[in-house]
Amino acid sequence: MPRMSRTAVLLLLIVSSSVFLLFQLYYYRKYVSKQPGPHLLNPAGHLTASHVQWQTVKKFLALAQHFKLPLFLADTAALSLLSQHALQQHDRLEREPPCSFLCTGRPFTSFAVYANLWKYDPGFLLAAEQKGFELLELRGEDPRLASLDTLSGEKIPLYFLFRLHSYVIQVVFLYERSGNYLWHGALRLKADMDRSFAPFKLLDYGRHAGAYDRPQVVLTVLDNLDVRVPRNVTLFLAEQRQARFLECRYRDARNFLQLYPDDSSAAAVDFRRKAKSLLHLAARTLSHLGVPFWLSSGTCLGWFRQCNIITYGRDVDIGIFIADFRSDMIAAFRDAGLSLKHKFGKVEDSLELSFLSDEVKLDIFFFYEEGDVVWNGGTQAKSGRKFKYIFPRFSLCWAELLELKVRVPCETLDYLMANYGTTWGVPVRSWDWKSSPSNVQENGVWPLAEWSELIQVY
Ligand SMILES: *[C@@H]1O[C@H](CO)[C@@H](O)[C@H](O)[C@H]1NC(C)=O
């Protein structure tokens, strides 16, 4: 008898749990699956990491919308998925998992906000906290107020980090700078800040300051959420990879100018004005051609040492990698109103172009990469002698000079020391390009028969 009743109880249990299981299945199909948005339950019925990510982004976007935060998606992983998807669509290859773009598998998502279009609202942060977000706000000095005359002391918000369920939303503040570009600061933690708040080393933004052209953004629907994204995702991602920005060293420049006061004569002021407009013209022309350039020689030295053009230099010097040379370059400069003054060398060796505009010379030096060095050539017109200027390899960063966003070698000091030696900080007025540079080498003579082609002076 006890045996019988045990079997009966067991049967009863099996039946009731089966009924309950069926009910659960029914309930899930009828209600849970009808909820809007991705509902990523793993086979055990638990919320997946993707779901947490999606829910967090959704919560954040609702907040941002309520407080009219002018933001766009800047997350490199999500945008990469988006650009790949665009390519796939092109090939008519469509697959739509419920959270295709925002669930990147990373424990954070990055957004950028146009700081100039948003009035700082502490209510926003308060509301975020009420929604359960933990918050870290990082501030830094306002570079827009820094100049040779005043060093900024003003602090502005650079980053917001919102954390929910150990998932982080990074908000990058983009500020409008005088060279008509957007800037964000570097993310620097203070000693008393929580280093484990976010995976700081993995974040897309903050390792360095960055500079961007203002991207066109479009409102779209990603994974059932309204999100603004850069219109040209490929372009934005390419810019993001090379966005590192170097601030001019205003403090050092001020010290320099105390030792060596600026020439404020009418001629010097006039030269600066002309050099500025020439630099802007060159930047515009090369940008249309899609050719990157950087400040070289005396112009680079002026930026680094004085945050300005050196007035006794009498010219503007820029560098271009020979790989970026385009044969329509000369015509483009001519169309922009510059006249070719000389052309030395050839694409294969020591190419150098010099243009004239309003009495100021624009020297374009082409740089050749060779092993672990980079060099550019020089030619003496009357003798056909060749020279070679050797630099350590460098990468390119953004900087600002004369209200223009321009590139400079990131390793600026190494670059300048190669060229000017350890005394780069002392003005030298009598400069001989054939013998003064620390990195100049004799490089033979052009064959006489080729002079007419390789040494063109106008
Ligand atoms: C997006 O930018 C890339 C890189 O500059 C460019 O090649 C492409 O044509 C652009 N696409 C559109 C649709 O404008």
pLDDT digits (tens, 9 = 90+) for 115-168: 999 888 889 999 999 999 999 999 999 988 877 777 767 899 999 999 999 899
CA 305, CA 255: separation in Å to the nearest integer?
10
Regarding whether 303 and 169 lie in a shared domain, the answer is no
Q: Please report the pLDDT score of residue 94 as a whole number.
A: 41
Regarding whether 272 and 202 lie in a shared domain, the answer is no
Residue of minimum CA distance from atom 10 in ligand 1: 232
| Ligand 1 centroid, distance to 366 Cα (angstroms) | 26
| Ligand 1 centroid, distance to 337 Cα (angstroms) | 28
Indicate the top mutation candidate among 213, 216, 232, 233 to test ligand 1's pocket, ranked by most ligand atoms within 8 A of CB.
232
| Ligand 1 centroid, distance to 233 Cα (angstroms) | 8
| Ligand 1 centroid, distance to 17 Cα (angstroms) | 59
Regarding whether 198 and 289 lie in a shared domain, the answer is no
Tokens of 234: 């490929």
Beta strand pairing status for 210-212 and 181-184? antiparallel
| Ligand 1 centroid, distance to 279 Cα (angstroms) | 26
Q: Is residue 444 part of a domain?
A: yes
Query: Which of 220, 241, 262 is the last residue in one of the domains?
Result: 241
CB 194 within 8 A of CB 162: no
Nearest to 106 by CA among 59, 166, 148: 166
Q: Does the beta carbon of 235 lie inside 6 Å of ligand 1? A: yes
Q: Does the beta carbon of 232 lie inside 6 Å of ligand 1? A: yes
Atom number, ligand 1, closest to the C-alpha of residue 290: 5
Regarding whether 171 and 88 lie in a shared domain, the answer is yes
Q: Please report the pLDDT score of residue 72 as a whole number.
A: 98
| Ligand 1 centroid, distance to 236 Cα (angstroms) | 9
Residues in contact with 145: Cβ distance below 8 Å, sequence separation at least 6, in sequence order: 152, 154
CATH code, 121: 3.30.460
CA 391, CA 372: separation in Å to the nearest integer?
9
Question: Could you say which DSSP state residue 323 is in?
Answer: G
Q: Is residue 13 part of a domain?
A: no
Atom number, ligand 1, closest to the C-alpha of residue 233: 1
Residue of minimum CA distance from atom 4 in ligand 1: 235
Q: Is residue 415 part of a domain?
A: yes
Residue of minimum CA distance from atom 5 in ligand 1: 235
| Ligand 1 centroid, distance to 406 Cα (angstroms) | 21
Atom number, ligand 1, closest to the C-alpha of residue 235: 2
The number of residues making up the chain comes to 458
Regarding whether 282 and 194 lie in a shared domain, the answer is no
Regarding whether 362 and 293 lie in a shared domain, the answer is yes
Specify the pTM.
0.86
Domain that holds residue 75: 49-241
> Which secondary structure element, helix H or strand E, spans residue 203, and what is its range?
none
Number of other residues whose CB lies within 10 A of the CB of residue 54: 25
- Roughly what angle, to the nearest 10 degrees, separates helices 250-259 and 297-306? 100
Residue of minimum CA distance from atom 3 in ligand 1: 235
Q: Does the beta carbon of 234 lie inside 6 Å of ligand 1? A: yes
CA 280, CA 294: separation in Å to the nearest integer?
13
Measured in Å, how far apart are the chain's first and last C-alpha atoms? 118
Q: Is residue 3 part of a domain?
A: no
Regarding whether 404 and 275 lie in a shared domain, the answer is yes
Indicate the top mutation candidate among 234, 236, 242 to test ligand 1's pocket, ranked by most ligand atoms within 8 A of CB.
234
Dump pLDDT digits (tens) for 211-220.
Answer: 999 999 999 9
Q: Is residue 233 part of a domain?
A: yes
Between vectors from CA 12 to CA 9 and to CA 13, what angle results, nearest 5°? 85
**Which residues of the chain, if any, have pLDDT below 50?**
1, 30-39, 90-96
Q: Does the beta carbon of 127 lie inside 6 Å of ligand 1? A: no
CB 5 within 8 A of CB 11: no
Regarding whether 207 and 84 lie in a shared domain, the answer is yes
CB 88 within 8 A of CB 97: no
CB 312 within 8 A of CB 360: no
CB 89 within 8 A of CB 95: no
List b or e across 185-213, with b for residues whose CB sees 16 or more CB atoms inside 10 angstroms: bbbeeeeeeeeeebebeebbbbebbbbbe
Atom number, ligand 1, closest to the C-alpha of residue 238: 4
Regarding whether 124 and 229 lie in a shared domain, the answer is yes
Residue of minimum CA distance from atom 2 in ligand 1: 235
| Ligand 1 centroid, distance to 216 Cα (angstroms) | 12
Number of other residues whose CB lies within 10 A of the CB of residue 455: 18
Nearest to 241 by CA among 285, 204, 284: 204
Q: Is residue 160 part of a domain?
A: yes
Amino acid at 86: A
Atom number, ligand 1, closest to the C-alpha of residue 232: 1
CA 243, CA 412: separation in Å to the nearest integer?
16
Q: Which spans in 31-151 are helix H? A: 49-66, 76-90, 122-130
| Ligand 1 centroid, distance to 39 Cα (angstroms) | 35
CB 393 within 8 A of CB 312: no
Regarding whether 65 and 180 lie in a shared domain, the answer is yes
Residues in contact with 203: Cβ distance below 8 Å, sequence separation at least 6, in sequence order: 108, 110, 170, 187
**Helix, strand, coil shares, percent, the chain, to 5:** 35, 30, 35
Q: Please report the pLDDT score of residue 88 as a whole number.
A: 61
Amino acid at 78: A
| Residue corresponding to tokens 């959420």 | 225
Query: Largest alpha-carbon pair distance within the chain?
Result: 121
Residue of minimum CA distance from atom 7 in ligand 1: 235
Q: Please report the pLDDT score of residue 95 as a whole number.
A: 42
Q: Please report the pLDDT score of residue 132 as a whole number.
A: 96
Q: Is residue 78 part of a domain?
A: yes
Number of domains in the chain: 2
Regarding whether 261 and 230 lie in a shared domain, the answer is no
Q: Please report the pLDDT score of residue 126 as a whole number.
A: 95
CB 377 within 8 A of CB 386: yes
| Ligand 1 centroid, distance to 353 Cα (angstroms) | 29
Regarding whether 269 and 209 lie in a shared domain, the answer is no
Residues in contact with 139: Cβ distance below 8 Å, sequence separation at least 6, in sequence order: 155, 156, 157, 158
Q: Is residue 125 part of a domain?
A: yes
| Ligand 1 centroid, distance to 231 Cα (angstroms) | 10
Query: Which of 214, 241, 268 is the last residue in one of the domains?
Result: 241
| Ligand 1 centroid, distance to 387 Cα (angstroms) | 39
Query: Which of 211, 241, 271 is the last residue in one of the domains?
Result: 241
| Ligand 1 centroid, distance to 234 Cα (angstroms) | 7
Indicate the top mutation candidate among 87, 212, 235, 287 to test ligand 1's pocket, ranked by most ligand atoms within 8 A of CB.
235
Nearest to 58 by CA among 116, 123, 132, 126: 132
